[in-house]
Amino acid sequence: MLKRLLREPLLHFLVLGGLLFGLYGLENDGAASVGEKPIIVVSRGSVEHLISLWERQSGRLPTPQELQGLIGNRVREEVLYREAIAMGLDRDDSVLRRRLAQKLEFITSDISAQAEPTQSQLQEWLDDHPQDFRLPARIDFEQVYLNADRRGEQVRQQAQELLETLEGKGAEALPGAGGDRFMAGFRFKDATSVDVAQLFGDAFAQALFRLPEGSWQGPLESGYGLHLVRIGRKTPARQPELEVVRGRVVAAWREAQRRQLNAAFYRGLRQRYRVVVETGETDT
């Protein structure tokens, strides 16, 4: 990115900026001291970052004047930040303190995000946390719906009569036939108990997954009314192979690494301090 700029007149401004702000090849911004007066170092990396952000937002490189403004804003922000810290303005600001603490923890988050677990580490994680990745049971089913509000007190008797009709037709019986319209349809495939419960309620889902396959059964009751159901296929819950859930395992492994790194990082920092509580006792 910076090489592109060096081919343009912007080079002259960068040279001037280096004299004014200390554009050294440093990895991080920082402060140096000349006598007793601190200086602010705007690193090459920071300039490149400012240029990159500008180009991403505007679709072009900044002009020398625009880059001067960007660097000026960066310096202004740093000056005000340091003065605010020097004045202790951060001490009574719980939100700011929390944000700064979180920002420090993000360092270890970045490290853990770049970590690449081995195949054996992922398999070990999956074996040690089977319930986190277990694939739920699934079910295919069809239904005939009877609207209790519309049918009134006769709904259960009508449901029983319709069930006998469906049983008599066997495989030729069509879902929905003889019943009422249902907003979600009459055929459901690969539904988990959570899927069913969200639509029909927990009691309905529990009863449905206990039914055998093949024949019309019921009625089952939901908040909508009564349902006659036929189970087509059941897939039991199972423990997946690693490749099926690799992405989830990697994410969980990295999260654990992040927590461990944060804990170790904090322990190292904590050892630098003695904590004195208001009772006068000292935590060493």
- Of 133, 139, 17, nearest in space to 66 by CA: 17
Task: Specify if 203 maps to a domain.
Answer: yes
Based on the domain organization, do 229 and 143 belong to the same domain? yes
Task: Specify if 248 maps to a domain.
Answer: yes
Task: Specify if 108 maps to a domain.
Answer: no
Based on the domain organization, do 211 and 249 belong to the same domain? no
Mean per-residue pLDDT, 203-225: 91
Neighbour-count burial of 195, counting CB atoms closer than 10 A to its CB (0-12 exposed, 13-18 middle, 19+ buried): middle
- Of 204, 212, 207, 265, nearest in space to 234 by CA: 212
Based on the domain organization, do 156 and 187 belong to the same domain? yes
**Residue 18's pLDDT is what?**
42
Based on the domain organization, do 83 and 144 belong to the same domain? no
Region class of 267: left (phi > 0), else alpha (psi between -120 and 50), else beta: alpha
**Residue 109's pLDDT is what?**
65
Based on the domain organization, do 229 and 170 belong to the same domain? yes
Based on the domain organization, do 35 and 77 belong to the same domain? yes
Rounded Cα distance, 165 and 121, in Å: 57
Task: Specify if 102 maps to a domain.
Answer: no
**CB of 180 closer than 8 Å to CB of 146:** yes
Task: Specify if 95 maps to a domain.
Answer: no
Residue 34 confidence (pLDDT) above 80: no
Based on the domain organization, do 120 and 183 belong to the same domain? no
Beta strands of the chain (E only): which ranges?
30-34, 37-41, 138-147, 187-191, 216-221, 225-235, 275-276, 282-283
Q: Long-range pairs for 156-161 at CB < 8 Å and ≥24 separation?
A: 156/219, 156/226, 159/218, 159/219, 159/226, 159/228, 160/219
Mean per-residue pLDDT, 145-165: 87
In which band, very low, low, confident or very high, does the pLDDT at 208 lie, cut at 50, 70 and 90? very high
Task: Specify if 168 maps to a domain.
Answer: yes
Based on the domain organization, do 71 and 155 belong to the same domain? no
Region class of 282: left (phi > 0), else alpha (psi between -120 and 50), else beta: beta
Residue 78's domain comprises 2-89
pTM as predicted:
0.53
Rounded Cα distance, 63 and 9, in Å: 9
Phi, psi of 171 (to 5 degrees): -65, -20
**Residue 108's pLDDT is what?**
64
Task: Specify if 267 maps to a domain.
Answer: yes
Residue of 24 and 222 predicted with greater confidence = 222
Based on the domain organization, do 80 and 63 belong to the same domain? yes
Please report, for the domain that includes residue 197, its CATH number.
3.10.50.40
The whole-chain average pLDDT of the chain stands at 79
Mean per-residue pLDDT, 273-280: 69
Least confident range from 32-41, 159-168, 201-210: namely 32-41
Based on the domain organization, do 26 and 77 belong to the same domain? yes
Rounded Cα distance, 250 and 116, in Å: 8
Rounded Cα distance, 13 and 16, in Å: 5
For every residue of 201-235, DSSP letters joined together read -HHHHHHHHHSPSSSEEEEEE-SSEEEEEEEEEEE
Mean per-residue pLDDT, 204-215: 91
In which band, very low, low, confident or very high, does the pLDDT at 29 lie, cut at 50, 70 and 90? very low
Task: Specify if 99 maps to a domain.
Answer: no
In which band, very low, low, confident or very high, does the pLDDT at 96 lie, cut at 50, 70 and 90? confident
Based on the domain organization, do 140 and 231 belong to the same domain? yes
Based on the domain organization, do 123 and 256 belong to the same domain? yes
Residue 45 confidence (pLDDT) above 70: yes
**Residue 111's pLDDT is what?**
63
Q: Looking at the 3D structure of the chain, how many domains does it have? A: 3
**CB of 227 closer than 8 Å to CB of 163:** no
